[in-house]
Structure 1
């Protein structure tokens, strides 16, 4: 059973998400909160597997709450609920360790798949959100600056071993650590170690940044 906490300042949104999630018998809505501060109070008594987190909320917004949750409860997955006019927050959310971004009007299948992907160590992003993520991380660069950035990236990539590059290619295909382990005939723990070393060598924070980093290079 996957335990979820829904965080959104609009009750109608929380009720809608609860209705969608109730369609899956493997998901249990453990609790809900109307802002980041209420979530932090709830986490003192509850241990969810995943938090569905709105961005714009009073008292404490979703980005601030994500930062604190990932610092205090690193095993809790945080999936950001976003709309098209909130791209200025995307980079901050990724920096603080958000495990995914989905649109507020996403269908039940996409929401449930994003939860499963986060638990499996992968990140499922709506294509429109992915575009905004890339824009937020890369921005629009002048040709010379873009060339320099690519050259710098290639120098960093040269630090990776052939095996690590193989792991990267599997990550780019959206595979989880468990699936990568099966494909490479190694344990899931070994894959996690590879991923940690790759992120460390490239000075990246998470798998989403890794995907963006390699987007135009592999």
Structure 2
């Protein structure tokens, strides 16, 4: 590729102009446009035909994520790098789902900025280590939710319905915990645990604790 055309979108004038000054120092790069919001980005793309868009996440009128989704739907070949701060971590997964090609922290240095733009054009996904750590934590939370959803789905297939508390106790029962240990773990009384277990026995049609534990493990209710 010859000249890399870059469009910068940020509602802060200082950030826009600062990035432009740095990028324009490179012989193989050219800032073809500046935008204050997502709407201006969409208005400029047909004329400027950028290879890379540096997109701030939080902007007025149309934010970066909304704009990203439109850009990727109409111009999937354009690389979009999201400009972010540590406070924007709630938007990381939403940006990835929207098709972002990577993230740039707003406090990155000159060399990192230029390197990142070139890597993006070469097809590399750019995720700084600090963002990768946050992403891993968020994915872990999603994975936990997925495990619960799978358990509920298995119960439905068996014609069973457990309340959230019943599911928690069934899981601990399947792991072999005693009533006392279950009570301590969930901060409830042993009597309450016994009542819930009796209800669980009734629903699965098994009265033997060992058999019930085995059956619940087979359903995957022990994670």
User: Which residue does 2:60 correspond to in 1?
Assistant: 58
TM superposition shift of 1:145? 4.2
TM superposition shift of 1:131? 1.2
Q: Using the alignment, how far apart are the partners of 1:140 and 1:34 within structure 2?
A: 33
Q: Using the alignment, how far apart are the partners of 1:20 and 1:126 within structure 2?
A: 20
1:1-218 equivalence runs, <5 A: 1-139=3-141, 145=147
Q: Using the alignment, how far apart are the partners of 1:20 and 1:136 within structure 2?
A: 33
SS of the equivalent of 1:44 reads: helix
Q: Using the alignment, how far apart are the partners of 2:85 and 2:108 within structure 1?
A: 10
Q: Using the alignment, how far apart are the partners of 1:45 and 1:141 within structure 2?
A: 43
SS of the equivalent of 1:86 reads: helix
TM-score computed with the length of structure 2 as normaliser: 0.62
User: Which residue does 2:181 correspond to in 1?
Assistant: none
Q: Using the alignment, how far apart are the partners of 1:138 and 1:57 within structure 2?
A: 29
- Unmatched segments (≥5 aa) in structure 1: 149-218
Q: Using the alignment, how far apart are the partners of 1:28 and 1:139 within structure 2?
A: 41
TM superposition shift of 1:120? 0.9
Q: Using the alignment, how far apart are the partners of 1:27 and 1:135 within structure 2?
A: 36
SS of the equivalent of 2:94 reads: helix
TM superposition shift of 1:141? 5.7
CA contact (8 A) 1:21 1:27 kept: yes
CA contact (8 A) 1:102 1:129 kept: no
TM-score computed with the length of structure 1 as normaliser: 0.63
CA contact (8 A) 1:55 1:61 kept: yes
SS of the equivalent of 1:79 reads: strand
Q: CA RMSD in A?
A: 2.0
- Unmatched segments (≥5 aa) in structure 2: 151-223
After the TM superposition, which parts of structure 1 deviate over 4 Å for at least 4 consecutive aligned residues?
none
TM superposition shift of 1:108? 1.2
SS of the equivalent of 1:78 reads: strand
